[in-house]
Structure 1
């Protein structure tokens, strides 16, 4: 299972970024994890998938900016080892 920890910078809060990312994960399928806003204006994502191609598609969608109003300037991506998720949710 591939697990990634992403911190997304740019215009990513108040523009539907989390909701669009949630929909992207559902659209691609086999993407599980959590997404939340940070106090510094970034958005943090924990994502996992058994399918490397789907994970690559998800990451590409994040880099592009899944919301038409968002503007992603940088995505810090690291491999991680966090708890297994069975769904994709927006956390508070």
Structure 2
């Protein structure tokens, strides 16, 4: 199956609630590659590459988030697959 790549910005109460770790663990469990980081505006940004179905499952999980979070919305951009990631990581 041909991989896809998405860049997502998550708005809401998503910092200080374990959202990056949740994003990372979910991506690892779905065998995606990419990264996640906090933004200065209080949002979380992430990029993921992998098979369409796994990426869509990951996005569905991000819409819910971990229990302490309150996701207000996701902005999703499709990007060209670059295949440059070896794993999924948390960036600081």
State TM-score, norm by structure 1.
0.91
Structure 1 unaligned spans of 5+: none
The reply on whether 1:24 has 2:52 as its aligned counterpart is no
Shift of 1:81: 2.9
Find the counterpart in structure 2 of residue 42 from structure 1: 43
For 1:9-64, what per-residue CA distance to the aligned partner results, in whole angstroms no more than 9, with x for missing partners? 000000000001111111222x1101000000000001110x21111101100111
Structure 2 unaligned spans of 5+: none
The count of residues paired between Structure 1 and Structure 2 equals 89
RMSD: 1.1
Q: Extract structure 1 runs of 4+ deviating beyond 3 A.
A: none
